[in-house]
């Protein structure tokens, strides 16, 4: 039900659901065709394995959403490593399959953390970053009924009060801004937004250490720092005990 993607209308709102699904499937097989043309069995194994992982992770995400079933934090992270981390592993795995050096180096811990960081960062800014609101919609994950990282933490930590209320809001898939503001305040008061922010800080530090231990990579470090600048700037939005919810940007 997303309306915007990277600041522009989603493809299915322009071309229709059926053509977009068909085109997406076509692109998957186009990638498979090009991978097959490499005549590299290892590349084919990597491609098939990670595309399966991606769909397996996406399947868990959809199941939790459609059944309003909150996963544990551990299960959520496993799903992200399959869904988002799989794309990182696919890129690195294909490069290694065609490489002549560093072909036995295990990059999985780094790329899995990159996947976790990218997804959890996105989960956080979806709920608190005003620039994101302008590019998509206000707290869109709540409208989708999605169990993002802060929502998982709030529900599992507070099943007797805040978590129960948040689950009720997720079931509604509401577009009501006032209800979304209330849900946002629940996650702030429960410490879930702050916990997510600290998780991003920890993952970023671990990623930097892993990059350095693998010999360093200045462009990749620069990219990580660029992405992390947004998170650093959100400390005020996730902290404090005030019950006053953050206001969405005005048109």
Q: Could you count the other beta carbons within 10 Å of the beta carbon of residue 23?
A: 12
Domain boundaries, the chain: 8-38, 40-237
- Contact partners, residue 149, CB within 8 Å, separation at least 6: 73, 76, 119, 120, 123, 124, 196, 199
| Spatial separation of the C-alpha atoms in residues 153 and 231, rounded to whole Å | 18
Say if residues 110 and 210 touch (Cβ distance below 8 Å). Answer: yes
**132's tokens:** 């994101």
Can you name the CATH fold of 40-237?
Farnesyl Diphosphate Synthase (1.10.600)
Q: Return the residue matching tokens 């953390």.
A: 113
Say what the pTM is. Answer: 0.85
**Tens of each residue's pLDDT in the chain, 251 residues:** 677 766 678 888 888 889 999 999 999 899 999 999 999 999 999 999 999 999 999 999 999 999 999 999 999 999 999 999 999 999 999 999 998 888 888 999 999 999 999 999 999 988 887 665 554 567 888 888 899 999 999 999 877 788 889 999 999 888 888 898 899 999 999 899 999 999 999 999 999 999 999 999 999 999 999 999 989 888 888 875 444 444 444 44
For residue 246, the tally of other CB atoms under 10 A from its CB is 20
For 3-18, the DSSP string reads: SEETTEE-HHHHH-HH
Q: CA angle, 131 as apex, 125 and 136 as ends, to 5°?
A: 80
User: Are 54 and 86 within 8 A, CB to CB?
Assistant: yes
Q: Which helix (H) or strand (E) holds 112?
A: helix 108-128
221: left (phi over 0), alpha (psi -120 to 50) or beta: alpha
């Amino acid at each position: 039900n997303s309306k915007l993607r990277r600041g522009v209308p989603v493809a299915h709102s322009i071309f229709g659901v059926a053509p977009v699904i068909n085109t997406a499937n076509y692109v998957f097989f186009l990638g498979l065709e090009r991978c097959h043309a490499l005549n590299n069995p290892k590349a084919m194994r990597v491609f098939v394995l990670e595309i399966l992982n991606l769909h397996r992770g996406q399947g868990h995400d959809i199941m939790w959403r459609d059944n309003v079933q909150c996963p544990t934090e551990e299960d959520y992270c496993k799903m992200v490593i399959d869904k988002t981390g799989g794309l990182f592993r696919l890129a690195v795995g294909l490069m290694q399959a065609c490489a002549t050096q560093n072909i036995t180096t295990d990059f999985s811990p780094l790329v899995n953390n990159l996947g976790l960081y990218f997804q959890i960062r996105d989960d956080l800014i979806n709920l608190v970053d005003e620039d994101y609101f302008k590019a998509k919609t206000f707290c869109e994950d709540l409208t989708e009924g999605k169990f993002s990282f802060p929502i998982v933490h709030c529900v599992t930590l507070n099943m007797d009060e805040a978590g129960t209320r948040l689950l009720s809001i997720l079931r509604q898939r509401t577009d009501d801004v006032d209800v979304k503001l209330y849900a946002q305040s629940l996650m702030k008061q429960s410490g879930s937004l702050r916990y997510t922010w600290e998780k991003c800080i920890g993952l970023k530090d671990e990623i930097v250490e892993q990059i350095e231990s693998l010999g360093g990579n200045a462009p990749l470090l620069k990219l990580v720092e660029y992405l992390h600048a947004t998170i650093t700037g959100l400390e005020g939005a996730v902290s404090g005990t005030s019950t006053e919810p953050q206001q969405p940007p005005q048109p």
